A and B are shown apart, each in its own frame.
Chain A
Amino acid sequence: MKRPSRARRIAAALALGAVLVAAVFLFLFLILTTARPSGRVVPAHAPDLANGETLFHAGGCIGCHEPPSGAEDAGLPTGGASFPTPMGTFYPGNLTPDPDTGIGRWTAEAFLDAMTEGVSPDGRHYFPAFPYTSYRNMRVEDMLDLRAYLMSLPPVRSSQRDPDIAMVGLARRTMGLWKRLAFRGRGFRIDPERSATWNRGAYLVQGPGHCGECHTPRNALMILDDARRLEGGAHPGGEGQVPSLRDLLGRGRYKDVADLTLAMQFGETFGYDNLSSGGMAEVQMNLARLPEADLRAISEYLLSLH
């Protein structure tokens, strides 16, 4: 008579233990993955629309936030076009100031939180297909200028939809854990040993330009490996490898700063054949809209990498 009751007691204890452990894990998961606004204080800043436009092109925002093909608003970042990745298909959002489907009602705080924390105004995690991991490196004033530029665009209503990803709700939640790991890197800092031009280039590449999102390899957790910065990575669309940006001189890719600057300005039109495959032509055409001084800065920085 004693045996079964003891076994039952052990079983009950084990079951209770398992439930408790599961509850603790769930609790921790919920705590660790809850998206919260940063509560930051936005500094007073008189926006510079021209600088905002430069950053818009430096980031190539239109490349992902473009309208669906054939739409009337070509050239405006209305979102709606699909962005297929091996993880699933994303539908980047509307960056025009439409109050309902765009950023029209977003406060400056909400905009900055989206850019640097990857948190949406309604308190959800963005997937890192939106490269906030790079935009975190941007100066606050630059982000405010970018916001002002976007707010100056004509508002366009656009359809917004969730990405086509398996268990999208859980996946989104899990990004909270991912960010805790991905945000631990050092981030961009000015290197006082280098020239102002070099630092401007490094900033544009590591911040708004988010070049590393494709050109830097990722580790098993899909976190950018800073130690191997710009050594080449997997193509986001699953199309093989994205080339390394290191040792461009030694590999005979470009002759000098002037050469690489011309390449970014004209790409394949001037015979720079390597600048148009797998989406890079679009990047090049956005880069072509930057002031020449910025392209020279990017070139100086990139050609210094060995």
Chain B
Amino acid sequence: MRETTLRMLIALALVVAVVSIAGAAATGTTAIEERQEAMEDIGKAIQTLAAIAKKEAPFDAGVVKTSAETIANRLKTAADLFPDGSDKGDVETWAKAEIWTDRENFNKDFQSAHAAAVAMQSVTDEAAFGAALGAIGNGCKTCHDMYRRPKQ
């Protein structure tokens, strides 16, 4: 009887261990996929704005506002998509370890990029547009330079 209980306990412990390891890996993978999706959305919105800056598309305050909203909304929650343990997963990630050792500064970078995207939402003329886009771009650059490994 006691031996059976012991065996059951060991089996249970093993199951818990396996499930939690698999769970942790899954959390990492999910977070990586989610944040890469968020970054892709931001990237597309930036391309729309860049086309205006490059004069490939006309200045349209409506388009600017929608794109800026996408960027701001995505940035608002993006810092949460880097939970502990999501430095690796089944999907390739370029996130550097410093994100998790330097968390406060990392979050601050997101906040300032978010603020720049919010400011862009109220840009209605072409004169202010360039500087506002530059501010968002600087936000992207600062954070990526520090916390992202080069892609090949």
Contact = CB atoms under 8 A, between A and B. Distances in A.
B66 to A, nearest CB: 16
A269 B151 contact: no
Interface string A265-303: 011111101101111111011000000000000000000
Contacts of A278: 145, 148-150
A269 B149 contact: no
A291 B53 CA distance: 20
Nearest to A278: B150
Given A235-B150, A239-B96, A243-B150, A270 B50 contact: yes
Contact of B138 (A240, A243, A269): A269
B96 A269 contact: no
Of A262, A281, A284, the most chain B CB neighbours within 10 A belong to: A281
A285 B141 contact: yes
B83 interface: no
Interface in B26-56: 43, 46-47, 50, 53-54
A284 B134 CA distance: 13
Nearest to B140: A268
Interface residues of B, number: 23
A277 B149 contact: yes
Given A268-B137, A269-B133, A270-B54, A232 B145 contact: no
Of A244, A274, A276, the most chain B CB neighbours within 10 A belong to: A276
B50 to A, nearest CB: 4
A197 interface: no
Given A268-B141, A281-B141, A281-B144, A274 B47 contact: no
B152 interface: yes
Contacts of B138: 269
B94 A277 contact: yes
Contacts of B54: 262, 270
A241 interface: yes
B136 interface: yes
Contact of A282 (B46, B47, B145): B145
B152 A277 contact: no
Nearest to A285: B141
A263 to B, nearest CB: 11
B145 A269 contact: no
A285 to B, nearest CB: 7
A241 B46 contact: no
B150 A240 contact: yes
Contact of B141 (A232, A241, A244, A284): A284
State the 9 A-B residue pairs at the shortest beta-carbon distance, nearest first. A269-B137, A281-B141, A281-B145, A270-B50, A276-B144, A277-B150, A271-B50, A277-B148, A276-B141
29 contacts: A239-B150, A240-B149, A240-B150, A241-B150, A242-B150, A243-B151, A262-B54, A267-B141, A268-B46, A268-B137, A268-B140, A269-B53, A269-B136, A270-B46, A270-B50, A271-B43, A271-B47, A273-B43, A276-B140, A276-B141, A276-B148, A277-B149, A277-B151, A278-B149, A279-B145, A280-B150, A281-B142, A284-B141, A285-B141
Interface of A: 232, 235, 239-244, 262, 266-271, 273-274, 276-282, 284-285
